[in-house]
Amino acid sequence: MGFETPSLKGRALRLLSGREHSRLELERKLISFEEEPGSLALALDELQAKGFISEQRVLESVVNRRAAKLGAARIKQELQQKGIAPEAINEVMAGLQETELARARAIWQRRFGAPPVDAKEHAKQSRFLMARGFSGAVVGRLLRSPDEV
CATH of the domain at 43: 1.10.10.10
Q: Could you give the residue ranges of the DSSP H alpha helices within the chain?
A: 8-18, 23-30, 39-49, 55-66, 72-81, 86-98, 100-111, 119-131, 136-144
Q: What is the pLDDT of residues 7-38, one digit of tens each?
A: 899 999 999 999 999 999 999 999 999 999 99
The range of the structural domain enclosing residue 67 comes to 54-98
Q: In this predicted structure, which of 1-15, 105-119, 124-138 has the lowest mean pLDDT?
A: 1-15
Same domain, 19 and 32: yes
What local confidence, expressed as pLDDT, does residue 148 receive?
A: 62
**62 closest CA partner among 44, 76, 51:** 76
Same domain, 48 and 64: no
Q: From residue 136, give the alpha-carbon distance in Å to each of 46, 60, 78, 141, 143.
A: 44, 25, 19, 8, 10
Instruction: Identify whether 2 is part of a domain.
Output: no
Q: Which residue has the higher pLDDT, 1 or 62?
A: 62
Same domain, 121 and 134: yes
Average pLDDT, the chain: 92
Same domain, 136 and 112: yes
| Overall pTM > 0.75 | yes
Same domain, 72 and 43: no
pLDDT average, residue stretch 94-98: 90
Percent of the chain with pLDDT over 70: 94
Where residue 133 sits, what CATH number does that domain have? 1.10.10
Q: Structural domain tally of the chain?
A: 3
